[in-house]
Amino acid sequence: MGLWSKLWRAYRGRIRRRYLLARAIRRRRRLCAVADRTRDIRPESILLFATIRNESARLAHFLAHYRALGVDHFLIVDNDSRDGSREMLAAEPDVSLWHTAASYRLHRFGLDWLTWLMIRYGHNHWCVTVDADELLIYPHHDTRPLSALTGWLDQIGQRVYPAMMLELYPKGPVEAQHYTPGADPTALLCWFDAGNYTIVRQPKTRALWIQGGPRARMFFADRPRHAPTLTKIPLARWNRRWVYLNSTHSILPERLNECYDQLGGEAPSGLLLHTKFLPQVVDKAAEEKRRREHFGRPEIFDSYYDSLIASPDFWTPQSQRLSGWRQLEALGLMSRGGWP
């Protein structure tokens, strides 16, 4: 790429970033504070940002998992839950909670709301940005807190930390399983695909695009380009001038997307254990198909929702049983990348 092309691309990226930041600032008025405890945030606090809707079954373990990692404060937007999620979160002493009944899809799938909160509260903090069904893990996560990882990242000058989504599933039809609300979902969802992943670099954002896993092989074999994207950047030493572009799959400025080693080495990376396929996913899929809030062109994904509503069995004889982070590192799904 020539010099003028690089300059033009950088200029366009800067304009787009400023537009998305201004859009988030304008749309902050859609948020209504339910429980504002942000006065408890300290300069060294590790923060977590999330948008949720009807996640009462997961929330107890979600909060417990991230507290155990070392998250100090949760900043959560409730998108009009009707299952008691809002009341549960409002009672938690380390949660600041906002409510909105506005359209999830028309607010960049919740990113407009989270971008404003990250502008307001996330600057210069290490921030985790995840969905309620994503559990971040990293090498030594069972013995080393997030502050140990982020401290090391500060030392080596790395401001973002990537993680692939690893989709977990049960053995047998999804709806036939039993899950006790608040329990660790990985006790039930303890199988995963160790292979069948494809990796390309997106020319527009310079981000890695990883696809594959159980949904790709079950629902998108005839149209693999529509399979879910598994690459994310869920942890960052945030700057109020940054924005996520598409969930946490990519970020602006573009240079931040180049967080994987490109010369054959191993850069540090973790995993997001994706716990979507609890038994409740069948009813959720029916609701999401009706609401049409989760994709830019939701009609394309009607067959996907129908497949989930049918309570699929993702398990195959090639499925691997989850046994811990060392197994996942040995399979090449995440890497210490020099972290001692």
pLDDT in tens, 246-258: 899 999 999 999 8
Give backbone dihedrals phi and psi of 50, rounded to 5 degrees, phi first. -155, 150
Using CB atoms within 10 Å of the CB of residue 165, give its burial: 0 to 12 exposed, 13 to 18 middle, 19+ buried: buried
pTM: 0.95
Nearest to 118 by CA among 246, 19, 24, 245: 24
According to DSSP, the residues that pair with 192 across neighbouring strands are 320
Contact partners, residue 306, CB within 8 Å, separation at least 6: 289
In three-state secondary structure terms, 261 is coil
Cis peptide before 253 (omega within 30 of 0): yes
b vs e for 72-90, b when ≥16 Cβ sit within 10 Å of the residue's Cβ? bbbbbbbbebeeebbebbe
- Position 267 pLDDT exceeds 90: no
Q: Which two tokens stand for residue 35?
A: 């429980």
pLDDT of res. 1: 60
Worst-scoring range by mean pLDDT, 22-31, 90-99, 123-132, 299-308? Answer: 299-308
The per-residue DSSP string of 121-159 comes to IITTSEEEE--TTEEEE-TTTTTS-HHHHHHHHHHHT--
Span 4-28, average pLDDT: 89
Span 192-218, average pLDDT: 91
Given the DSSP bridges, would you call strands 126-129 and 231-237 parallel, antiparallel or unpaired? antiparallel
- Position 117 pLDDT exceeds 90: yes
Cα distances (Å, whole numbers) of residue 214 to 73, 136, 169, 315, 319: 33, 19, 8, 8, 9
Q: Which two tokens stand for residue 277?
A: 């396929």
C-alpha of 96 from chain center: 19
Q: What is the mean pLDDT of the chain?
A: 93
Give me the helix-helix angle, 302-309 and 281-291, nearest 10°.
150
pLDDT of res. 222: 87
Task: Decide: 79 and 103 in contact? Cβ < 8 Å.
Answer: no
Span 44-101, pLDDT tens digits: 999 999 999 999 999 999 999 999 999 999 999 999 999 999 999 999 999 999 999 9
